[in-house]
Amino acid sequence: MAKEKRSFFERLTGSVSLDEYDDSFEEEPLAPQGRGVRAEGRDLGSFLEEESEGQLSVDVYQTPDHIIIKAVVAGVRPDNLDVSITRDMVTIKGKREEQKEVTEENYFYKELYWGSFSRTVLLPQEIEVDEAEATEKHGVLIIKLPKIDKDRETKLKVKVS
């Protein structure tokens, strides 16, 4: 069989056309259901069943006076949110609790994330911790962080004692 000339894209990326692709590889059998694979003395099945923590997606941007962080927290009660702030870092933790209204076998799709989540954001500059504000509206958490004005100058009067 004569080899056809590869397309520009195939030459650029190093890919092969589907006609040349050889899919005759052997798949390794999976571990039987109900049994975990041991890894470094630990049962992998129990490891996979442990609750993992999701990562919260955020938008971070600046205005002339503030750094703003926005995150979608729909379905999270405000008392299930914890926002910790230092001068150069913000950590948002929370838990989205699922209401068990439907049994597992009745789902067609199950893509929403339920459970604990967190996100730590390193700030591009220091902020005034005491003046920070957090609000939630329509399922969006908005954290408004005032920037420290390093150019601000204050005159002190010397008192005579």
Instruction: Give the confidence band of 104 by pLDDT, cuts at 50, 70, 90.
Output: confident
Boundaries of every domain in the chain: 52-100+110-146
Per-residue model confidence as pLDDT tens digits over 40-88: 444 444 444 445 778 889 999 999 999 999 999 988 888 889 999 999 9
Q: Is 61 helix (H, G, I), strand (E, B) or coil?
A: strand
Residue of 140, 130, 136 whose CA lies nearest to 78 = 136
Per-residue model confidence as pLDDT tens digits over 44-53: 444 444 457 7
List beta partners, residue 115.
96
Work out the number of other CB atoms within 10 angstroms of the CB of residue 85.
Answer: 20
CATH node for 52-100+110-146: 2.60.40.790
pLDDT at 92 over 90: yes
**What is the rounded CA–CA span in Å between residue 145 and residue 67?**
5
